[in-house]
Structure 1
């Protein structure tokens, strides 16, 4: 048996000893972004023996993260739920689950959903997701499987990927552009069409740890080895930042100020690409006037980076030809994130790095994918009167119309207030809502959802969310137990498509798409029969690769299909439905001055605004909570709240870590490994100190996603979900003006060494922590439309045309 070289092998073969080797790809579960890393599974007598990286994969080339390498432990873990289960509504929070059949489970769901829809209306059902299995399927789950308009990604302000996708659609008329790492070119880095970038900027993104959104992190290192310089914009010193030629350690939440200052430097020093600006950009003069209000000297005071360092970084990026920017989650997780993203897109544009080899690549979006995705989601199948009832539409039309789902913060408001109407049931689609993964103020979500008429869940393991809130549990498959497709970047900017090839069965688990289809046939049959009829695989093919001529049957033979999308598509008409050159925007150009933003009452130009809670915006709060808190950086071992049951993963990161600078720890009398109580005006939690100079004095970082599967699962303890729940410190409804963004990465806090009494209070139900008057910081405490909240020029929408 050759472990080192199976290059050229078919997608499946049988070894002499009867072991069946299957080539395919990984996606969630176990958790991962859609990178489609190549895997080889070895199955003997129907059981997975081991898993290896597939050296045939044109990009990943056999490299696998520890989450894939522990897939066998994940698949056969004794705590995994592998059969449908039910329990009585009055037993929520108690471990009184009983095994049932899929038919019975679907029958219970259909009976309750039908009753709710008939009595109260389909809009009173929520379909909640997190990052999800097989992409964020709130749309499919809500619109097509249930027939409700209220799909909902539970993170406050949709502060993960959604802002980036929406901003780029409004400014470019195209999905979020990713760095070009030659993933779609058959020759890879050596393809004659490709050019290695002279510089790669990682702005609020660490793809080596997370492969965020489909960017294979090792590709960045591959390109650095081939000569690319690396710039990191990150408050923390990460492993990748330690390799960088430039590391800009800005104060969290001040990205827009830094972006404006870099733009001003490039424009003032005439370092921009005149030809691209003149031919393809709209609003350059207005942009230049605006960013001139944020010179590097002013940004230095805001960001905590010396002015000359800002200028040097701007020059280095502008002079690198080509250059690319990978911007990530940290931009989404601020209330000023839309404007920070606007700055980053403007930097890419005015330096001429859009859709060029080695720059930021765009998708040819008019291959039918736009229409088929909306149809696949089922949005087009909803009656107009239901579409108009989406929660949050009136206040945040930019958010709701782009994401085609309810606004997360307004959904919690509806649960708590019955405005605009009362919610009667929730489907938790592969989201561990209560664990600190996405929801801000998770105890409020818990209290709001625990007494609803009917809740159900699909997931892999019993989670705090399932134990606390749900009446039916539907078990879903891992990536090697189903046939499906993984497109990089969720199909938005695809480099390649990879096949998930089923090689084993475990219990009665179903793939997520198969569950949508089968449940939809019973719960909302009109969306799955007649002219809408399809098999699960037809649905998968249409959703992921419709319009490309590819399907799973063809993809299985290739395992990975590289999709050559070409370059400079704004010159060839491949970005517009009319086939004309340019961008799919109101002006036909890349809009540095955004008419789309203006139409929603937002400033059409970028501006800087302080985080809602900072030493500058709330000095009175900073007196009590003097440390700047950032949360949620990725870990090699875990994907959000997943994996704490897996021994090898837990050995890597056994406890919820709280990074604190040596000087700050010494001043507090805290040693490495001490439990600490972290608190602010919104809540508290208990974490384990990691004393490190990776964070500067005055800055602390907390891990997210923690719960303890080994602890008591019944309420109120719920696997210890409240103990280390950092999202208890994240406020509800502090969003940007368009509805996007929330301050997960720019808050205030204080901390001290924990005492025994702290551990006794973690299971207290309710929202308000001891000593905090209710609603002291209500939703009107901070609004971006207050004139005094803006830092510098920010005219009313419409000015500056």
Structure 2
């Protein structure tokens, strides 16, 4: 598709029923719509569902969709197996035996709602709403819906990913760029233009830095990885910064396999080189930024030689890559979880903003595009806070409230470390109820999964909603409710552009959509906050001019009154989900397609030129960081364990352990039930360099133990040079639906779980960021008859004994 116009001209538009939303074809009803979770990644691609007799029989990419142009990853192409899978939850159920026995009794939806309502009101009366914890999974298809639901229905401010230390997924990036810039950036790959790559102003990045992620496999937040492949076909040069050799690294001008957790040292060195070699954009820095002298002073110690030694990469690559980045008329950083799962998380994110800003690549073609949710169709993650009980709001489990840390609380969610402290100690109050929707904490998000399992077992009531019966549900739930999949719900998304819709084309037994559960259960718990009769009414509320008053992600976001005015005037489908569905399912907002919005007065509420920051400029050393109690310039902090911080321990555990790299078959803990996916990817893989494999007696394709002072897990050795010597990479979120569900097995979720080794409470400055991607370990072959982790964790309950109240957070 290197020639986009040629591609467009090649499409038989009649064959694909251009202008139609739904049609009959060869006995099938075909619907043009978008996929979003569950299950699915953070993006939503245009597809065609082929339905016969109420059943999805076939899925095809829609070439008339300008977002994905008919391209689908294997997860979307294999939706049929997921949608029709016999192991899906079919009916609401309540626990019939002890927790973990996997004994269930079928109940009605009304009975399920009765149970949840009764237990909720019981906690309200006896303890207060703050003793209710609510958790959603990583699926972006439920951000605005579930946050409103949790806050408005349960009246609690304690909404959190429990066990997920340091808010270490996306939130550090949102806060780390909102503070210095006032808005969120994405790499410009023409996605804001309906005519995409042939848009008049668009130019692909001259230099594309793919840093700490694999966009082809992950399709990260609001992004589709193949957009960047098209940019490479159009001439973009690649710099890959990743401990693993990915598709990008194999094609890169520079592959920089930094020691995991040292990214911030490299970023500081790049700033040093670009500033001291006078490679920065003087005009942009002088006119549109502030704090340049502060940054210049604080990066002087970060020479290329120092960074090269810390990162364990050649010094000439540090210098050459920095010069290449600064040389492009348009350069862009595609960032990933490595920016969040890092002890220097906020500093690293600030460094990325500073690099982009001093090179003048903000809101330019092929640079970083500043984006808002299209037409400001936006209900932020704190959009239900007005319904939170006032006393419960004061008691939100934050680092400040529970641990007395310094700085203003700047995050709308509760802190997982603070919540865990409440669960384990009952101080400053106990957690008496957990409501979880579309999440699988034990298999995926929980850093120190054994510890979280032990803490959750003591919560008196747990309700769980999901498409499948997961290890977390079997181990802990008292009532489970079946959630509908993407093709079984009517919904909409706006993150970031265009506004897109989901259309219901089928149903599965008694499964209900997230929106249906929210409206029905919400009306029972707090009818004033849930005036809608149907799920579609709820979505239409999202699509109305009243939306957008709370920005996405963080309280630092500006309340953009200009967007609100535009939304009312320009969005043709306000409050009209059905109309937008039938019009093709998408609507592009020209705001996001406009470059250099800061020159045009489009970013500030007062309509003046500049950025939505206190100074109106990009603050290279942000004033807001000071208010938050954060260091207002880039710096590097070593991981808590490793060759520098714990040399004695490193002798016993001499390998750097990184984890979490995405695969094409799975999204986090999803899709493990699907035969096709398991045919391609049968077991969890531990990537080991050939020299390390020989040194430790590891053979390719055989099971291997990975062990630290925290415990161990096993995965299958994948011996290759995709990692350098001294580093191993483990896959995350594995469980085995084909194995025994009941205790102590829990589908084998502890046996291959890298989070047996990662630690709660190891958070970076401000309680943000974590060391999950940069631990240490040793490896050795698995032998038949070895004791399995489930026997220790779930059977004997004796792994990683924690004394309640002895939280090591202050040490770090």
Provide TM-score, normalisation by structure 2: 0.91
1:120 to 117, 127, 131: 127
2:395 to 370, 389, 401: 389
1:450 to 437, 443, 457: 457
Q: Distance in 1 between matches of 2:252 and 2:805?
A: 40
Could you give the per-residue CA deviations for residues 746-785 of structure 1, whole angstroms, max 9, x where no partner exists? 110111111234344533237999897767996447745x
Q: How do 1:160-179 residues align onto structure 2 when only pairs under 5 Å count?
A: 160-175=169-184, 177-179=185-187
Secondary structure of the 2:160 match is: strand
Q: Distance in 1 between matches of 2:57 and 2:533?
A: 43
Q: Shift of the alpha carbon at 1:9?
A: 2.2
Could you give the per-residue CA deviations for residues 284-337 of structure 1, whole angstroms, max 9, x where no partner exists? 001011111101111111111222211111111111011111111111111111
1:331 to 339, 346, 352: 339
More moved, 336-345 vs 93-102: 93-102
Q: Distance in 2 between matches of 1:776 and 1:521?
A: 38
The residue aligned with 1:791 is none
Q: Shift of the alpha carbon at 1:135?
A: 3.7
Structure 1 segments unaligned to the other structure (5+ residues) = 785-801
Q: 1:364 to 1:762 in 2, by over 3 A?
A: closer
Is 1:24 the counterpart of 2:33? The answer is yes
Could you give the per-residue CA deviations for residues 354-374 of structure 1, whole angstroms, max 9, x where no partner exists? 01111101125796567x536
Q: Shift of the alpha carbon at 1:239?
A: 2.0
Q: Shift of the alpha carbon at 1:700?
A: 0.2
Is 1:632 the counterpart of 2:660? The answer is yes
Q: How do 1:601-620 residues align onto structure 2 when only pairs under 5 Å count?
A: 601-620=629-648
Is 1:10 the counterpart of 2:10? The answer is no
Q: 1:3 to 1:717 in 2, by over 3 A?
A: farther
Q: Distance in 1 between matches of 2:699 and 2:30?
A: 49
Q: 1:86 to 1:6 in 2, by over 3 A?
A: farther
More moved, 774-783 vs 520-529: 774-783
Q: Distance in 2 between matches of 1:617 and 1:571?
A: 46
Q: How do 1:430-441 residues align onto structure 2 when only pairs under 5 Å count?
A: 430-435=438-443, 437-441=444-448
Could you give the per-residue CA deviations for residues 375-405 of structure 1, whole angstroms, max 9, x where no partner exists? 7x31122243322110014358899944312
Q: Shift of the alpha carbon at 1:533?
A: 12
Q: Shift of the alpha carbon at 1:445?
A: 1.3
Q: Shift of the alpha carbon at 1:668?
A: 1.1
Is 1:145 the counterpart of 2:171? The answer is no
Is the CA contact 1:682–1:729 (under 8 Å) kept in the aligned structure 2?
yes
The residue aligned with 2:253 is 245
Could you give the per-residue CA deviations for residues 116-171 of structure 1, whole angstroms, max 9, x where no partner exists? 11111011000012203614465224202211110012321111111101111222
The residue aligned with 1:790 is none
Secondary structure of the 1:110 match is: helix
1:459 to 457, 460, 466: 466
Is 1:268 the counterpart of 2:276? The answer is yes
Q: Distance in 1 between matches of 2:481 and 2:25?
A: 38
More moved, 50-59 vs 544-553: 544-553
Secondary structure of the 2:36 match is: coil
Could you give the per-residue CA deviations for residues 651-674 of structure 1, whole angstroms, max 9, x where no partner exists? 111001111110100111111111
Secondary structure of the 1:61 match is: coil
The residue aligned with 2:299 is 291
Q: Distance in 2 between matches of 1:323 and 1:343?
A: 15
The residue aligned with 2:7 is none
Is the CA contact 1:12–1:20 (under 8 Å) kept in the aligned structure 2?
no
The residue aligned with 2:527 is 525
Q: Shift of the alpha carbon at 1:482?
A: 0.9
Is the CA contact 1:265–1:314 (under 8 Å) kept in the aligned structure 2?
yes
1:111 to 109, 118, 138: 118
Q: Shift of the alpha carbon at 1:462?
A: 0.5
Q: 1:531 to 1:499 in 2, by over 3 A?
A: closer
Could you give the per-residue CA deviations for residues 14-40 of structure 1, whole angstroms, max 9, x where no partner exists? 33543111011111112211x221110
Q: Distance in 2 between matches of 1:134 and 1:337?
A: 26
Q: Distance in 1 between matches of 2:797 and 2:339?
A: 29
The residue aligned with 2:98 is 91
Q: Shift of the alpha carbon at 1:12?
A: 3.0
Is the CA contact 1:331–1:341 (under 8 Å) kept in the aligned structure 2?
yes
Provide TM-score, normalisation by structure 1: 0.92
The residue aligned with 2:437 is 429
Is 1:558 the counterpart of 2:584? The answer is yes
The residue aligned with 1:787 is none
Is the CA contact 1:109–1:523 (under 8 Å) kept in the aligned structure 2?
no
Q: 1:482 to 1:11 in 2, by over 3 A?
A: farther
Q: 1:687 to 1:534 in 2, by over 3 A?
A: closer
The residue aligned with 1:196 is 204
Secondary structure of the 1:764 match is: helix
Could you give the per-residue CA deviations for residues 31-52 of structure 1, whole angstroms, max 9, x where no partner exists? 211x221110011121111000
The residue aligned with 1:789 is none
The residue aligned with 1:788 is none
More moved, 127-136 vs 599-608: 127-136
Q: Shift of the alpha carbon at 1:507?
A: 1.0
Is the CA contact 2:369–2:595 (under 8 Å) kept in the aligned structure 1?
yes
The residue aligned with 1:380 is 386
The residue aligned with 1:794 is none
Is 1:592 the counterpart of 2:599? The answer is no
Q: Distance in 1 between matches of 2:393 and 2:805?
A: 32
Q: Distance in 2 between matches of 1:639 and 1:234?
A: 20
Secondary structure of the 1:558 match is: coil
Q: 1:161 to 1:374 in 2, by over 3 A?
A: closer
Q: Distance in 1 between matches of 2:372 and 2:21?
A: 32
Secondary structure of the 1:123 match is: helix
Q: 1:619 to 1:771 in 2, by over 3 A?
A: farther
Q: Shift of the alpha carbon at 1:558?
A: 2.6
More moved, 398-407 vs 419-428: 398-407
Is the CA contact 2:332–2:361 (under 8 Å) kept in the aligned structure 1?
yes
The residue aligned with 1:515 is 517
Secondary structure of the 1:751 match is: strand
Q: Distance in 2 between matches of 1:366 and 1:6?
A: 30
Q: Shift of the alpha carbon at 1:536?
A: 2.3
Q: Distance in 2 between matches of 1:617 and 1:244?
A: 32
Q: Distance in 1 between matches of 2:524 and 2:149?
A: 13
Is 1:236 the counterpart of 2:244? The answer is yes
Q: Distance in 2 between matches of 1:470 and 1:350?
A: 51
Q: Shift of the alpha carbon at 1:505?
A: 1.2
Secondary structure of the 1:250 match is: coil
Q: Distance in 2 between matches of 1:281 and 1:365?
A: 25
1:701 to 719, 725, 729: 729
